[in-house]
């Protein structure tokens, strides 16, 4: 398999640089590199004027301010035409009063969709599935989510993922299961005998863990991250 075939089969992996692209959108031409220094949510939807996709775009639009607080930009994509996108977004605005505040790529050739692996031929060869790519401010793919056609995305969970990644990066730590903003985070396990003994002593003293390999601390970073109550407000707008 040559490099072109690999690219077109969507060989995008977590930890690698996101493939560059240039595309026509509802807000004019954009390039991925235009967003240098920003986190990006690149997400695909199966088609314009479809019910599940409409609910998702309304939800993403309501949450856009919260993504912006996390230095994160939304970019939508499908293989529909730009006029179709514009007509659909206009209809959403007319019926709900909500203006979609982010660009939507018209990937008519499917080149970007195939590059990122957004088309599953076993589901449809002409529609993108519900992919989400979380790309950090250095252009590295940090999370990949794939949803079936029939299941709408949970936008608060995507927000939680972005904040969890940013919190882990800032603290050089990790987040535990079911972590939400404001919860303690996991301290990296020690890698020496001296460090192990010191960790055990601290756990006994501070009551902040289960064992030497699992202990917690408070988030030491303050970068305007979302609080749990803000996430809950999204669906109430």
Work out the end-to-end distance of the chain between its first and last CA atoms, rounded to an integer number of angstroms: 49
Exposure of 226 by Cβ count < 10 A (0-12 exposed, 13-18 middle, 19+ buried)? buried
Q: Is 73 a catalytic residue?
A: no
| Residue 57, CB-side half-sphere exposure with 13 Å CA sphere | 32
Q: For residue 42, give the nearest of 170, 128, 120, 156 by alpha carbon.
A: 128
Tokens of 175: 């987040």
Name beta bridge partners: 78.
106
Taking the C-alpha atoms of residue 73 and residue 46, their distance in angstroms, rounded to an integer, is: 20
Exposure of 77 by Cβ count < 10 A (0-12 exposed, 13-18 middle, 19+ buried)? buried
Taking the C-alpha atoms of residue 76 and residue 167, their distance in angstroms, rounded to an integer, is: 25
Enzyme catalytic residues: 53
């Amino acid at each position: 398999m040559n490099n072109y075939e690999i690219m077109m089969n969507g060989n995008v992996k977590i930890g690698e640089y996101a493939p560059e692209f240039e595309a026509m959108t509802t807000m004019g031409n954009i390039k991925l590199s235009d967003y240098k220094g920003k986190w990006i949510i690149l997400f695909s939807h199966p088609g314009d004027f479809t019910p599940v996709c409409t609910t998702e775009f309304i939800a993403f639009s309501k949450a856009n301010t919260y993504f912006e607080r996390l230095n994160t930009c939304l970019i939508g994509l499908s293989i529909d035409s730009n006029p179709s996108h514009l007509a659909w977004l206009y209809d959403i605005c007319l019926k709900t009063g909500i203006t979609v505040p982010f660009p939507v790529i018209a990937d008519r050739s499917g080149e970007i969709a195939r590059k990122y692996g957004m088309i599953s031929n076993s589901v449809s060869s002409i529609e993108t599935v519900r992919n989400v790519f979380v790309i950090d401010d250095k252009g590295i793919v940090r999370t990949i989510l794939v949803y079936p056609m029939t299941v709408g995305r949970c936008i608060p969970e995507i927000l939680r993922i972005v904040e969890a990644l940013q919190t882990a990066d800032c603290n050089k730590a990790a987040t535990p299961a079911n972590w939400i903003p404001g919860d303690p985070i996991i301290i990296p396990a020690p890698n020496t005998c001296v460090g192990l003994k010191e960790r055990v002593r601290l756990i006994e003293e501070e009551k902040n863990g289960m064992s030497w390999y699992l202990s917690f601390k408070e988030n030491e970073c303050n970068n305007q991250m979302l609080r749990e109550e803000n996430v809950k407000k999204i669906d109430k707008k």
